[in-house]
Amino acid sequence: MKNMKKTSRRRFLETAGSAGAGILLSGMRTGAQERGGGPGPHRYGRQEGSGRPATIDPNDPAVVFSESLCQECDHCEKACGRMMGIMDRYDPEKTGKAICIHCGQCSAICPHEAVTERFHYPTAERLLADPEWVTVALVSPSTRVSLGEMFGIEQGANVQGKTVAALKALGFDHVFDVTFGADMTVMEEAAELVSRLRAGGTDGMPMFTSCCPAWVKLAEYWFPELLPSLSSAKSPILMQGSLVKTWFARKNGINPERIKVVAVAPCTAKKFEITRPEMNASGRFLSNPEIRDIDLVLTNRELGRMLGAAEIDFAALEEAPFDPAMGRGSGAGIIFGNTGGVMEAALRTAYYLETGLDPPEDLLRFAPIRGLESVREAEVRLGGRTVRTAAVHGGANIFALAEKIRAKEVSYDFVEVMACPGGCIGGGGQPKTRGRAAKEAAQTSRSTGLYAIADRLAEPEASSYKNGALRGVYDEFLARTEPGEKETNAHRLLHTSFVSRASDLA
Ligand code: SF4
């Protein structure tokens, strides 16, 4: 690899996995993807405690299994069963199909590349090579504190500028910050929370966050009675994708059919989320249902592999700024990558909506809800009310808390749920770590890194409702209605719905 120091290269190979090495060393793509997972039932591990096989569907949109690479080490079984609580909650003999929330923790832990994310990067490379397409990259909040790990840069260090420069070097026409989309999610979610609180009663309470697609799917399978309580606000990436294909395309005179939006994320579940039938709000808006809100999702690992294949020396890149149209989010948008961050972000804006005042200092550093404890609880005064909140992360912890909520053993007004351990900083598409201690150290460094970036920002940069560029988009587009339409563009583009999948478990 050109210009890559020896230590950086070794670190890259460790964090990208052996398929990354295949690309780097030979220019060929290796591993499960090229084998297409192979024929057969795609068994991996055994269902914990039962001796039954679990499966990955050969058509799973997020992860791919290759039996020929599997060494039966059972790491994936521990991730899916013990950590996420999925495998031991269904019987594949009964369901006749794989039940998966697409968190990708199996792919993050597999040391043999037998389970990987479903690669989108070959398609991304083809799009970038074709001048026909206007390519837009959206960079997730937590990518800036983890991508550097693949190139020998200190864990948790802010590589935002290098990430933008790298995506430009790969050929993306526009590179936007998903903290802008996170601010949109906050605006919609905080308004929804305040509206539900004002309505009083218990309907739709507690309100759950819904920006984690793996949590949404878990709820659709096992807790369908909670679905009316999930916020209808779309996740930041899906909101921003629909805005790129509508407002941004219109403003810049670009045919939306020529735009391809590629999200860069720590998340494999986003690969599933973008395939949900309802995630074509921009297509419905534009009367072309074929247009999707997001076209591809690259995990952070995949972006590292693309940079390696393109022989881009990430560590040596000059920093570049995000493109200005959606280039700036608030500190609230940045902390979305941490467990508890979505709640903290939403409470700042909810406080403003309820009181008309800027949030106090303790909401700009909401200490009780920060940290990596499995469940953190806190009460906060919003206007004349006390709002009871909780944040939970990790599949097994989610089952435990949701079962208590269902049994009315605990009571809250607002609950943040993130499927991956630590939230997106521990996402299934993050650079790989080996062993529990390394994994926990990575989560701590990434989490600390995100809070450090955000906490440097005082008002007016700390809260989503003060994002001037976003307020401008609301004024000129989102808060308006199109001729002949009754709903605002915000309602048409930024909200979604959920579906019970409980019958799949029967
Ligand atoms: Fe994706 Fe984050 Fe949810 Fe993990 S916690 S599935 S990375 S959204």
Of 133, 119, 160, the C-alpha closest to 34 is 119
Of 359, 365, 362, the C-alpha closest to 335 is 365
What pLDDT does residue 33 have?
A: 53
427 lines ligand 1 (CB under 6 A): yes
Are residues 136 and 262 in contact, defined by beta-carbon separation less than 8 angstroms?
yes
Distance CA 337, CA 367 (A): 16
Long-range Cβ contacts of 485-491 (<8 Å, 24+ apart) = 489/246, 489/247, 489/285, 490/188
Cβ density class 52-67: b for 16+ within 10 Å, e for less: bebbbbeebbbbbbbb
The residues facing 418 across adjacent strands are: 393
212 lines ligand 1 (CB under 6 A): yes
Check residues 428 and 460 and name the one with the higher pLDDT: 428
Q: Which residue has the tokens 């968190």?
A: 103
The count of C-alpha atoms lying within 13 angstroms of the C-alpha of 126, restricted to the half-sphere facing its C-beta, is 5
Are residues 191 and 495 in contact, defined by beta-carbon separation less than 8 angstroms?
no
Direct distance between the N- and C-terminal alpha carbons of the chain, in angstroms, rounded to an integer: 51
% pLDDT > 90, the chain: 80
* Strand 296-299 relative to strand 207-208, pairing: unpaired
What pLDDT does residue 50 have?
A: 43
Q: How sure is the predictor about 204, in pLDDT bands with cuts at 50, 70 and 90?
A: confident
Distance CA 243, CA 335 (A): 22
Separation of CA 213 and ligand 1 centre (Å): 7
Arithmetic mean of pLDDT over the chain: 89
Beta strands in 141-258 (DSSP E): 174-177, 207-208
User: Length of the chain in residues, anyone?
Assistant: 506
Instruction: State yes or no: pLDDT of 442 exceeds 70.
Output: yes
Q: What is the H or E stretch that residue 134 is in?
A: strand 134-139
132 is a catalytic site residue: no
Separation of CA 423 and ligand 1 centre (Å): 6
Distance CA 43, CA 72 (A): 10
85 lines ligand 1 (CB under 6 A): no
- Mutation pick for ligand 1 pocket among 63, 101, 103, 342 (CB with most ligand atoms within 8 Å): 103
Other residues' Cβ atoms within 10 Å of the Cβ of residue 1: 17
Q: How sure is the predictor about 15, in pLDDT bands with cuts at 50, 70 and 90?
A: low
286 lines ligand 1 (CB under 6 A): no
237 lines ligand 1 (CB under 6 A): no
63 lines ligand 1 (CB under 6 A): no
Distance CA 342, CA 324 (A): 24
Q: What is the H or E stretch that residue 46 is in?
A: strand 43-47
Residues 6+ away with beta carbon under 8 Å from 373: none
Distance CA 100, CA 106 (A): 11
- Mutation pick for ligand 1 pocket among 273, 397, 418 (CB with most ligand atoms within 8 Å): 418
Give the max Cα distance, the chain: 64
273 is a catalytic site residue: yes
Are residues 303 and 267 in contact, defined by beta-carbon separation less than 8 angstroms?
no
Tokens of 228: 């009316």
482 is a catalytic site residue: no
% pLDDT > 70, the chain: 89
73 is a catalytic site residue: no
Please give the number of the atom of ligand 1 that sits closest to the Cα of 104.
Answer: 6
Average pLDDT over every residue of 135-156: 97
Average pLDDT over every residue of 389-414: 97
Distance CA 381, CA 254 (A): 46
Distance CA 356, CA 281 (A): 32
Other residues' Cβ atoms within 10 Å of the Cβ of residue 195: 12
423 lines ligand 1 (CB under 6 A): yes
Average pLDDT over every residue of 88-105: 89
Catalytic residue among 162, 234, 270, 271: 270
Instruction: State yes or no: pLDDT of 254 exceeds 90.
Output: yes
Are residues 386 and 379 in contact, defined by beta-carbon separation less than 8 angstroms?
yes
What pLDDT does residue 16 have?
A: 54
∠176-234-423 over CA atoms, to 5°? 75
Other residues' Cβ atoms within 10 Å of the Cβ of residue 459: 14
6 is a catalytic site residue: no
